Amino acid sequence: MRASHLEDYYQFLRFPSVSTDEAHTDDVAHCAHWLVEKLTAVGLEAKLMPTPGHPVVWAKNKHQPGRKTVMIYGHYDVQPPDPLDLWDSPPFDPVLKNGYVFARGSTDNKGQILAHILGVQETIERDGELPVNLHFIIEGEEEIGSGNLGNFLTQNLEALRCDVVVVSDTGMVARGVPTLSYGLRGVTALEVKITGSKMDLHSGMFGGAVANPITALTQLLATLHDKEGRIAIEGFYDKVKPLEDWEREAWRKLPLDGDKEILGETGSPDLYGEKGYSTLERLWARPTAEINGIGGGYQGPGTKTVIASHAMAKLTFRLVPNQDGPEILELAKKHLRKHLPAGVTMEITDGHSGPWYLTDPHSSVGQAAQRALRDAFSGAEPALIREGGSIPITSQFRTILGVETLLLGLALADCRAHSPNENFPLENFDAGIRLNKAILQELAK
């Protein structure tokens, strides 16, 4: 790898571009400006596009008639680094250790999108031009739901017309195994607040006479699943698209022991989930109901004998084809109201939402992606998978631009995205540069 490429990477990672924290608004803006300067230096026309939130970076080459038009999407915002005490090195001071770069954003998504930028740079340096008409769209709000990107696409629809979108914000099934993700789960969220008394009460004076909101909340949440790990919300599975036979067969043949990988990565004592499905099937193609946060009552040291006035929980539901987010929220609300214990009231607040995505990996662009992956990874056969996470903008590319998205991941299972000690291997950074050159050549055909 060129020393200049590594220095570009380090500079990019030093920006604490945390989109969810207003204290980092200037850092996000400075990171966006750095990208504009880098893309301009590469030889593209680049500009900063304001939104009601953080800006979008838009860059393109000189478009020529008769060529395919490709959009490469990524994001420059990152997750908060907390908890800081669990990092082995400062999260925004990148460190190279044993071939891995450790820093917040190293995988998600700065390493992956920069690899594409550097691939374009090397192609222009070698050939003087690209084989396709190209757009880079790099946003600063992916980690907070891409709330303004849909409007940006709509407002610039004619200028952004393209044949396909390429995204590297997903993972690989194993080291050295190129991976095409053709499906993603969606997500929808809500928050529940359970209220009993108008204030905290002395548990000796009132315990046994009034309902405890924390007890009521835990009883309510316990109704979400049955003893077999199946979601107990009536109608929840009615529209779930079954797995295709070829998918189950392909996933069984992957060079990946899903059970071993999950146990090794998480440190969990055992696996758990819906019966009748393998670990990978549950992770990639089955919906979930998760309690992401719960709180109420005294949290300090020692004992405080109170009955809290209220308790709360945050819930998310991972969605699969053909589930509808608003419909699932209504089913969940109906379930919660039906099972609400006596003596308390409940408020439900809707949270963010993003649809699932599924495309055909055997389409012409899917086959082009597989050829490019073989080229970038020394002839290794690509794995065809779905993923458990969500990239809601992929569905907007389909509905607004009318095009499919190729998800060409470069992250490994132990990249620790969103967690302390996030990392990215330099061998995948280099592979990403090769992949960019290969995919643009293949799509040009």
User: How many domains are contained in the chain?
Assistant: 2
Task: State which of 329, 354, 379 marks the end of a domain.
Answer: 354
What CATH number should be reported for the domain holding residue 38?
3.40.630.10
pLDDT at 205: 96
Average pLDDT over residues 305-328: 97
Distance CA 388, CA 406 (A): 16
Closest among 319, 378, 66 to 189, alpha carbons compared: 319
Same domain, residue pair 423 and 318: no
Q: Is 48 found in the same domain as 172?
A: yes
Structural domain including 333 reads: 186-240+287-354
Residue 294 pLDDT greater than 70, yes or no: yes
Per-residue confidence (pLDDT) for residue 289, from 0 to 100: 98
Sequence-distant (≥ 6) Cβ neighbours of residue 376 within 8 angstroms: 178, 431, 432, 434, 435, 438
In-domain check, residue 251: no
Task: Specify whether 404 is located in the same domain as 324.
Answer: no
86 secondary structure, DSSP code:
G
Q: Is 273 part of a structural domain of the chain?
A: no
- Average pLDDT value for the chain: 96
Q: Given the residues 8, 27, 139, 142, select the one marked as catalytic.
A: 142
**Is residue 406 one of the residues assigned to a domain?**
yes
Q: pLDDT of 119-149, one tens digit each? A: 999 999 999 999 999 999 999 999 998 999 9
- According to the model, what pLDDT value does residue 266 have? 87
Instruction: Count the neighbouring beta carbons within 10 Å of the beta carbon of residue 420.
Output: 17
Q: What is the pLDDT of residues 12-67, one digit of tens each?
A: 999 999 999 999 999 999 999 999 999 999 999 999 999 999 999 999 999 999 99
pLDDT value of residue 256 = 87
Contacts of 400 (CB under 8 A, 6+ apart): 150, 153, 154, 157
Asked whether residue 252 is domain-assigned, the answer is no
CA distance 435 to 300: 52
pLDDT of residue 334: 98
Helical (H) or strand (E) element with 149 = helix 149-155
Query: Of residues 8, 27, 77, 143, which has the active-site annotation?
Result: 77
Tell me the mean pLDDT in the region 291-301. Answer: 96
Q: Do residues 406 and 366 lie in contact, with contact meaning Cβ atoms separated by under 8 Å?
A: yes
* 8 and 157 fall within a common domain: yes
Q: What is the mean pLDDT of residues 407-431?
A: 96
Does residue 175 share a domain with residue 56?
yes
Q: Are residues 315 and 394 in the same domain?
A: no
- Rounded to 5 degrees, φ, ψ at 186 are -90, -175
Clarify whether residues 176 and 124 are in a common domain.
Answer: yes
In the 8-state DSSP scheme, what is residue 397?
Answer: I
- Contact criterion met (CB below 8 Å) for 281 and 273: no
CATH of the domain at 212: 3.30.70.360
Same domain? 341 vs 404: no
Residues 347-389: tens digit of each pLDDT: 999 998 889 999 999 999 999 999 999 999 999 999 999 999 8
Q: What is the pTM of this model?
A: 0.88
Query: Is 121 inside any structural domain?
Result: yes
Q: What is the DSSP letter of 404?
A: -
Examine residue 255 and state whether it is found in any structural domain, yes or no: no
Say if residue 343 is in the same domain as residue 318.
yes
With contact defined as beta carbons under 8 Å apart, do 108 and 415 qualify? yes
Question: The tokens 């917040």 sit on which residue?
Answer: 104
Determine the Cα–Cα distance for residues 111 and 96; give it in Å rounded to an integer. 13
Q: How would you class 77 by CB atoms within 10 Å of its CB: exposed for 0-12, middle for 13-18, buried for 19 or more?
A: buried
pLDDT of 318 above 80: yes
Residues 373 and 338 in one domain: no
User: Which of 354, 386, 404 lies at the terminal end of a domain, its last residue?
Assistant: 354
333 lies in the same domain as 300:
yes
pLDDT score at 2 = 86
Q: Is residue 314 situated within a structural domain?
A: yes
For 261-290, the pLDDT digits (tens) are: 899 888 999 999 999 999 999 999 999 999
Predicted confidence at residue 423, as pLDDT, reads 98
- One domain for residues 162 and 310: no
Mean pLDDT of 161-184: 96
The answer to whether residue 190 scores a pLDDT higher than 80 is yes
- E-assigned strands of 7-54? 45-49
Q: Is residue 77 annotated as a catalytic residue, yes or no? A: yes
What confidence score (pLDDT) does residue 390 get? Answer: 84
Say if 267 falls within a structural domain. no
Output the pLDDT for position 1: 66
Residue at a domain's end among 354, 373, 388? 354
